[in-house]
Amino acid sequence: MSDYWSQYWRQGHLTSFGEDIADNYEGSLKNVWQGLFTGFNAQDRVLDIGTGNGALVSLIHNELEVANYPYISAVDLAEINVNQDVKDKSSKTEFIDYTNCEQLPFAQQSFSYVISQFGIEYSKLSLSLAQIAKVLKIGGKCQFVCHHPDSIIVKPNVAILKASIDLRSSKGGFTLLQELLVELYKNGRGSPKSEKLRAKLNKYIGTNIEKNNEAFQATNFPLLVKTIFQQMNDKLLQQKIIAQFKQELAGSIERLSDLSRAALSKDKLNTIKACCSKLGLEIENISTVYDEQDQILATKINLISNN
């Protein structure tokens, strides 16, 4: 895994889908966890996989009395960047970054609960489920909230991903913009080639706005074009802005590609069922989580260890 996810968490995001849900774990998502968390007690050990910036840990602390805080080990494959107030909330919580759930550094039957919110599905499930079966106590429970391919989180982000990939193509908007700038630097405004490239760029922008304006705007490319042409007298600043956009576009494509691949397709769900059967993990429930407007948010999976 590249360092992009570590950089992403440093930006302060609480979820793997950025600002798509402004209230984070409120409403339906919060309700999914409340029933499980109220069953925790001070002797329990909880493993939070793919903790990100510790959003589920924070929710546990907010939902329980201090006397009932369980021991929590929160792990993530990337660098974890947790607010200090979350760290200070309980001495019984540890955050362990650069930890792969496909190879967990914990003893057998260490945990009463294993939880994950938009995390476990990013792993190779046959390996991570085997590790979970190893560290979960007999009778221990799992609850995973995972990306659904048709959710209001995944579908818009897949559209942004497609728009972003197209921007970088040989005939994409970002390529056209760079070609136009080279021509403007060389021959100035009004040259036949610059006018031709400008027309192509304008057509590209218009076509993509018509196709999916929300996704196209989310790439920040229209804003980039506007900013670049406001700085025509400062070539150095233009190039700095171009380089920054290129880097951010690459990172966004990587993150959104991960998200798209992570969504629990029917094949992935079948893999989970087959693995659980082999590992002694009983599937108690697989259900779809909806928001208050009856839109799909996620897939919820509940398991119990029979080993």
10 with 77, same domain: the answer is yes
Number of domains in the chain: 2
Q: What is the pLDDT of residue 129?
A: 98
Res 6 pLDDT > 60: no
DSSP 66: G
pLDDT tens readout for residues 146-199: 999 999 999 999 999 999 999 999 999 999 999 999 999 999 888 999 999 999
68 with 201, same domain: the answer is no
Structural domain boundaries, residue 231: 154-259
Residue type, 192: P
57 with 138, same domain: the answer is yes
169 with 54, same domain: the answer is no
CA atoms within 13 A on the CB side of 111: 25
Res 304 pLDDT > 80: yes
> How does residue 22 score in pLDDT terms, banded at 50, 70 and 90?
very low
Q: What is the pLDDT of residue 10?
A: 46
208 with 166, same domain: the answer is yes
pTM of the model: 0.85
Contact (Cβ atoms closer than 8 angstroms) between residue 266 and residue 114: no
Paired strand residues for 72: 46, 93
Rounded to 5 degrees, what angle do the CA atoms 30, 149, 144 make?
40
Q: What is the pLDDT of residue 188?
A: 87
CATH number of domain containing 131: 3.40.50.150
CA end-to-end distance (rounded Å), the chain: 32
